[in-house]
Each structure stands twice: as structure tokens, then as C-alpha cells.
Amino acid sequence: MLFEESEICEYISEHLQISVEESKTVLVSIAEQHGILVVRAHKVWSFSHLTFQEYLTANSFLKKKNYKELSEHVVDLHWSSI
């Protein structure tokens, strides 16, 4: 999954209640210090490893207790690791 830099900065800005300009500094710090996010192309970011995306997806389903929708994806080849 790829993210536009502006989209990530908006999320960071909203979550930390800082300006969008300040959020760019936070984004770069996350990338440099923790390596969770990486630049894939000009102003296009992604998780450094698919495991982060998989964890956050599973966590979202569990928090929402949205087991019905999750079960619908079991047969979805796009979600398969095969």
C-alpha cells in the first residue's frame, strides 16, 4: 500500500494536533529513527515491511469487532499470502 506524503502528514497533524508543516518533520523522523515508513518515490511513502500493514489491518478489525467483514476476506485471493 502506498501513501501520498500529504495524506500521511494530514494524519500526523490531526493525531498530534500540530501543523501540517511540522508533521513533515515528524514523518521524516519516523522514517530515519524507526524505519517503519520509507519513501518509495517522490512524495510517495509505504511501510518498510508488509508485516506492519498486516498488523494494523488485523488490529483495526479486532477493535471494531468487525468479524463478519473479516471473514468475507478469507477467500479473497488479494488477501492471500499464497
35-74 pLDDT, tens digit per residue, is 999 999 999 999 998 888 888 888 888 888 878 887 887 7
Overall average pLDDT of the 3-28 stretch: 96
pTM, full prediction: 0.68
**Residues 6 or more apart from 65 whose CB is under 8 A from it?**
none
Overall average pLDDT of the 4-25 stretch: 96
Whether 29 shows a pLDDT value over 80: the answer reads: yes
**Residues 6 or more apart from 13 whose CB is under 8 A from it?**
19, 20, 22, 23
pLDDT at position 69? 81
